[in-house]
Amino acid sequence: MIKAVESLLEAGERGFGLLFVVGEERTSAGAYRAAQTPRGSRYIINGEPTGNRLALGSKGSLRYEVVASGKMAHSAYPELGDSAIHKLVDVLAEMRRIPLPVDSLLGPSTLNIGTLSGGRAPNVVADEARADIMIRLVGDPGETKKAFAAVAAGRAELREVIEIPAVHLNSVDGIETTVVAFTTDIPAFGGQWGEPFLIGPGSIHVAHTLEERVPKQQLLEAVQIYRRMVQQLCKRESK
């Protein structure tokens, strides 16, 4: 994006800018803050990895911390305690069986148990256990939230960490399209920075892995794609 901007400036193009935000992987804090201070932009291009294809939609996310409490006891006498781990495992197993919505464009909603911790020692009945789970949303989360709350009721505390809605996006003439299952900062901007577009080099399939990388050719192609998009979008505004 920086190289595209340098090229556009050298060509005499104006009326655009760069926005850098923090916290995208956790709470989208930077995007939410930016939404409070818009600069009048009509469009915003998010550079997540899409293989240099414009995403017509992206899933949202609903993240929970699931916390179970129990009572410690010697593991030789489990009847004297109350295992928080056993409670949590049972709750998580039921959550995995909850039917999740399907969207015609975005596909199925999915659940991932990302972290799991608890207990003190193998010979102690656990008095505390917790897990972090993420649901990839494809539409209205109302019924999904009710279902998860019902499973946790009376057995574990369900703490909502963040909710980001799924989004449907538009295309630009001449650029190949795709659909992605990951979540972005786009909903956090709340439309305050203009109509959003989602495109960037690299594959999400290797993100968060030991094989994470971006092909050099896609980086070079992305410079030209961003340049062309800015020019096309600026022309829209001049008409």
Note whether 45 and 125 are same-domain residues.
no
% of the chain surpassing 70 pLDDT = 99
How many whole angstroms separate alpha carbon 70 and alpha carbon 92?
16
Q: How many CA atoms lie within 13 A of 47 on its CB side?
A: 17
Query: 104 and 24, same structural domain?
Result: no
Is the pLDDT reported for residue 238 higher than 70? no
- Please compute the mean of the pLDDT values over residues 222-228 and round it to a whole number: 97
Of residues 24, 65, 128, 221, which has the active-site annotation? 24
207 in a domain, yes or no? no
Domain count, the chain: 2
Contacts of 99 (CB under 8 A, 6+ apart): none
User: Angle at which helices 84-96 and 142-152 pack, to 10 degrees?
Assistant: 150
Would you call 65 a catalytic residue per the annotation?
no
Q: What is the dihedral of CA 172, 7, 15, 187, to 10 degrees?
A: 50
Whether the per-residue pLDDT at 201 is higher than 70: the answer is yes
Decide if 208 is inside a domain: no
The predicted model gives 66-91 an average pLDDT of 98
**pLDDT at residue 180 is higher than 80:** yes
Q: Which of 113, 115, 104, 158 is nearest to 135 (CA)?
A: 113
Residue 174 has pLDDT above 80, yes or no: yes
CATH code for the domain of 128: 3.30.70.360
The parent domain of residue 77 ranges over 60-164
Residues recorded for the chain: 239
Query: Is 184 found in the same domain as 93?
Result: no
Are 144 and 173 within one domain? Answer: no
